[in-house]
Amino acid sequence: MTVVNNVTRYLDAHKVRYAAFETPAEKLGAVGTAAFLGVGLELIYKTIVVKRERGKPILAVIPGNSELDLKALAAALGEKKVHLSTEKEAEGLTGLQAGGISPLALIHKGFQVVIEASAQAQAEIHVSGGQRGLNIRLAPGDLARLTSARFAAVARKNNPES
């Protein structure tokens, strides 16, 4: 039985092609999710909650094999400076558990969404389904359209040697 929640109902209502995958309910992280689903880490996108000096936080959606470049994100949004939120802050700001934070679960909540530009080269990417234990695979263009996101180069690949 596939998990059904507000995210899957929203996708169905908007006739978006997607696949839902049940994963263990504990926080797996991008590496654990990629291993569980048997897909490349570059296809698992994580949502990072970023605070700006004033206004609603930003949701940066980046590949699991990358880290967020705060300076690039600030520049892409015309912000002077942005700050990474802690896990606890992210949960408080979104109302979602870490490991389940998803731009799809926060549609119409006022968050600005930025998706790493490299996602456009993928046919489909995986994002959280808005709760731990649910992963959604969909086209990056559909994710951007539904969340009013923009694409920008805001991530850099993790250095495997560090």
The residue ranges of DSSP E strands in the chain, in sequence order, are 18-22, 45-52, 58-63, 66-68, 82-84, 112-116, 125-128, 134-138, 150-152, 155-157
> What is the number of structural domains in the chain?
1
- Is 162 inside any structural domain? no
Name the pTM for this structure: 0.93
- Distance of CA 57 to CAs 45, 63, 93, 112, Å? 18, 19, 8, 7
CATH number, domain with residue 136: 3.90.960.10
pLDDT tens figures, 44-88 = 999 999 999 888 899 999 999 999 999 999 999 999 999 999 999
Q: What is the domain extent for residue 43?
A: 6-157
pLDDT at 26: 84
Q: How confident is the model at residue 118 (pLDDT cuts 50, 70, 90)?
A: very high
